[in-house]
Amino acid sequence: MTLPRTYRTVGLTLRKTPVGEADLVSAIYTREHGKLELLARGARRLTSRLMGHFEPLTLLRLSVARGRSLDIVAEAEVVTAFPEVKSDYAVTARGLYVAELVDAFSALSAPNPELFDLAVQTLEAVGDHPTAELLLRYFDLQLLAGSGFLPELYQCVECGEELEPERHRFAVGAGGTLCPDCGPPDVIVRSLSLPALKVLRLLHRTEAVGRLPDLNIPAAIQREVHGVLTATLQYWMDRQVRTQAFLDAAKLP
């Protein structure tokens, strides 16, 4: 079956790369087509109608022509540039964190509608609640779940027994939680408190980012949850999260 020469889609810009004197290649995550790398000809010219459309964290309505190596942007219209997210350096860092992880956990032309919805809804929530740390932890866990890398949180990954309160640990390399009696070789095992495990399970069970309860979680538990999720993300990425440095430098109160 011959594909149509043009198609329309809505996508979130993740990053851009200058090409030649005036062109751009932009990585865009779409609901129907997954991640695309699109050529925007002349988009860096001040007189171009595409000028400024491909800044990261911009939701675009696109008309695209199929090309030999890269598909080519024919038309682009900004749906939203998430102004609340871009109004402050610290909040922008959170948005770029979302974009980096979507980019890292997605393959070209591999649709994942749930991941697209998660990214857009998280950016909207970050704009509305810029200091809510739990939003990003929800994104972290649901990103892992939607990508097939959700760590086990309810039973021991070694023996399969249901975890008992205060008798559990966590090992990224083993796939999640462990009971005290199991210790697979050659993996790093870390402690995991019961309150942190409860927060992780809450993040897993919550159906949408907008349904997160307004909890007053102690800072130490927030750090523990963050540490577990960051270690898991970096294990599967096989590198550090680059935007974490920006988040650390721009800590919100």
Average pLDDT of the residues in 56-68: 96
Q: Quick one: 158 and 92 in the same domain? A: yes
**Phi, psi (deg, nearest 5) at residue 112:** -145, 80
Q: Quick one: 19 and 130 in the same domain? A: no
The helix/strand/coil state of 47 is coil
Q: Quick one: 127 and 166 in the same domain? A: yes
**Phi, psi (deg, nearest 5) at residue 186:** 65, 25
Calpha distance 126→44 (Å, rounded)? 29
pLDDT given at position 102: 98
Q: How many helices (H) and strands (E) does the chain have?
A: 6, 8
Q: Kindly indicate the confidence band of residue 245, based on its pLDDT and cuts at 50, 70 and 90.
A: confident
Q: Quick one: 121 and 240 in the same domain? A: yes
Q: What is the mean pLDDT of the chain?
A: 94
Q: Quick one: 135 and 62 in the same domain? A: no
Number of neighbouring beta carbons within 10 Å of residue 80:
16
In contact, 24 and 18? CB cutoff 8 Å: yes
Q: Quick one: 131 and 218 in the same domain? A: yes
Calpha distance 27→132 (Å, rounded)? 28
Sheet (strand 190-191) strand order = 176-178, 169-171, 190-191
Q: Quick one: 38 and 95 in the same domain? A: no
Domain boundary among 31, 51, 80: 80
Q: Kindly indicate the confidence band of residue 185, based on its pLDDT and cuts at 50, 70 and 90.
A: confident
CATH number at residue 32: 2.40.50.140
pLDDT given at position 130: 87
Question: Which tens digits make up the pLDDT trace of 207-232?
Answer: 999 999 988 999 999 999 999 999 99
208 lies in a domain?
yes
Q: How many domains does the chain have?
A: 2
Residue span of the structural domain in which 34 resides:
6-80
Q: Quick one: 69 and 188 in the same domain? A: no
Cα 108 to the center of its chain, rounded Å: 15
> Considering only CA atoms, which of 94, 91, 136, 92 is closest in space to residue 118?
136
Residue 21 CB burial class (10 angstroms; 0-12, 13-18, ≥19): exposed
- Model pTM score: 0.94
In contact, 153 and 177? CB cutoff 8 Å: yes
